[in-house]
Amino acid sequence: MTGLDGRVAIVTGAGQGVGRGIALAMAERGARVVIAARRAQTGDPVVDEISARGGEAVCIVTDVTRRDDVAACVDAAVARFGALHVMIHNAFRGGVAHRLEDAGADVWEQNSRTAVWGSFFCAQLAYPHLRDAGARGRLILVTSPAGVEGSANIPLYAPVKAAQRAIAKSLAREWGPHGITVNCIAPVAETPALAHAFASNPTLKERLEARTPLGRVGDAERDIGSVAAFLASDDAGYVTGQTIVCDGGSFTGL
């Protein structure tokens, strides 16, 4: 894979889970990474990990549901590193199991603010810099297999994740003339939230692995981060408007 030397990337929600894995993979390939985390307590340790590996990163406390926060993060990234080539929006709050008949407006608000509004803020505010980056400009949204096939257990989570795919397809068309690519990743990977679910339901991991042809749950850095790094690289310069499902084959119909 082509390296990412000289690239500057923002990764939202990079303090843990998939976001952390993506940040580590990007830095491993030479990108300078902005850890956009809601809390410095989670973001700073990832910066330390990257630094210990010889990479360069900074944590900027960012709540993606607040436009001013995202704007400040983008401005700080450009001030620190001189450019912005890659915006990766991974941050999400919500996704707790619910039935539609029991869900209040607060459930919709929590799911949509991070997935839909967060995607809008990240895309719009990064755009001038991605346009300046030309053929190296990248927007990557982290969605979910539920956004493709729906889910009976999280009926409000699925549509906001589907909205991210629609945003990506639309921006791939709008921004294509500038050379910017826009894609989604739909991962299944070990995260603190999934580890908690495994602890609460001892059979869940076994059932998930049993339905996965590769027989394991994905690793956030190796299996998901490497795909994000590919999409950010020159090797993926002709890939746009797509959703890459990284799930070990769990959803082979997608």
The catalytic site residues sit at 157
Measured distance CA(254)–CA(237) in Å, rounded: 23
Pairing of strands 181-187, 243-246: parallel
With H, G, I as helix, E, B as strand and everything else as coil, classify residue 102: helix
Smallest Cα–Cα separation from 13: which of 110, 95, 88?
Answer: 88
Q: For 170, list phi and psi in degrees, rounded to 5.
A: -65, -45
| C-alpha torsion angle, residues 161, 162, 164, 170 (rounded to 10) | 180
Residues 6+ apart with CB under 8 A from 195: none
Closest CA to 246 of 95, 141, 145: 145
CB 86 within 8 A of CB 12: no
Residue closest to 48 by CA, chosen among 38, 35, 37, 36: 35
- Name the strand (E) or helix (H) holding 109: helix 105-112
Tell me the H-state helices in 9-97: 17-28, 40-52, 67-81
Distance, in Å, from the CA atom of 59 to the CA atom of 45, rounded to the nearest integer, reads 9
